[in-house]
Amino acid sequence: MAPLNFLHFLTVVSLAVLQASFDAIPVNALAVEHSHLGRGLSHAHVDIAKKRDPSSKKCRPRPTSIAPKAAAAAATPPSSAPSSQPSQPAQTTTSSQSSSTYTPSSSGGGKSLLAWSNNEQGSLKNFAKNKPMIYNWKVLKYPKGDLGPSWDIFETMDFIPTVHDRGELANIGVLKAGYANKVFNVNEPEINGVGYEDWYYNVHVPYIAPLVHEGYQLFTPSVTTSDAGFNWLQNFMNLCNQGDCGISAMNIHHYSIDAQQLMDATTKFYNAFKMQIWLGEIGCQDYSGGNQGCNQATFNTFFSAVMNFVKSDSRIEKIAWFGFFTASEIEHENVSPTNVMMDCSGGPSNCVPNDLGKTFLSY
């Protein structure tokens, strides 16, 4: 019995060892996956972005070489994001200088960029003394009849059309040589539910990228400086770097009450994408959980620090303050009225820059 018992013992031990080998868990499987819970800068900017409608009022809502128009159109996949991406032209870097016909304009020599609403058009003449560049979140310029006496001076300003969303594609045919020489891309796509693959393949490649042949400088989609905005743009630019999408400048939006956050975001975006930065929207507004807004003392500190930073930093080419609205208009956009840069006490057709507006436009 002893030999049999010993044999039985060996059998049991062998089976136990074999079972243990099947049940063993790899070391890397023990690592805990952490979900990212951090809130990026301007996270709650969704509050104003969703209110902007390009069909209603103010807010809605280099170049690298590029493949010929026909080739760009042929690369367009179905409207849904492709499971396998189509073949792309030879890889280029977005930071390389272009061989296109884009030539910087001589107007708008300072850093101020005028983000102008669809209201108070007749007052535009009072804000254009230094001929700043101007955009209106739309592709189309203002009708001559709406501008009245402001038309002549508007014609001397450097207008930047904006493909704010798909709705603007109805007017994109006007973007020919001579209409403008820059074009802004989709507005805050990470907030408005726009997929980076969908926009790249179905809008940017067939409609926006070919505009370099008309002499246009192309900008990145206008994301916020939130983590979501950064990640969206990184994914979009990865597609661009696999192909040749003609983008040579970056447009980002920032809302906070801390100028250091903007400085940090500038470094983060510039180091990642190596392109000149345009601050297409900026405002003093706290969208953290406390929603503290932006009182006058906070605004004064924020504005002074931001403008001194922008003026001295060569990475930033232009800045547009979200402030050329009446107090009621800007509050409707859920932005603090301390940002208001116009005085309309003389009537909507006779608005003038207030002291803050004059200071901003002097940069």
Q: Which residues of 87-120 are buried (b: 16+ CB within 10 A; e: fewer)?
A: ebbeebebeeebebebeebeebebbbbbbbbbbb
Contact 262, 309 (CB under 8 A): yes
* 69 within domain boundaries: no
Q: What is the per-residue pLDDT for 118?
A: 64
- The number of folded domains in the chain is 1
* 4 within domain boundaries: no
* 334 within domain boundaries: yes
Specify the CATH number for the domain of residue 137: 3.20.20.80
Distances 181 to 73, 106, 165, 266, 309 between C-alpha atoms, Å: 22, 12, 19, 25, 27
Q: What is the per-residue pLDDT for 124?
A: 87
* 348 within domain boundaries: yes
pTM equals 0.73
Tens of pLDDT along the chain (363 residues)? 444 444 444 444 344 433 444 343 332 222 222 222 222 233 333 434 443 433 333 333 333 334 333 333 333 343 434 333 333 333 333 333 332 333 333 344 699 999 998 667 778 888 988 778 999 999 998 777 677 777 777 888 899 999 999 999 999 999 999 999 999 999 999 999 999 999 999 999 999 999 999 999 999 999 999 999 999 999 999 999 887 799 999 999 999 999 999 999 999 999 999 999 999 999 999 988 766 789 999 999 999 999 999 999 999 999 999 999 999 999 999 999 999 999 999 888 889 999 999 999 999
* 113 within domain boundaries: yes
* 187 within domain boundaries: yes
Determine the residue type at 229.
G
* 86 within domain boundaries: no
* 271 within domain boundaries: yes
Q: Which domain holds residue 51?
A: 43-55+106-361
Q: What is the per-residue pLDDT for 129?
A: 80
Q: What is the per-residue pLDDT for 147?
A: 72
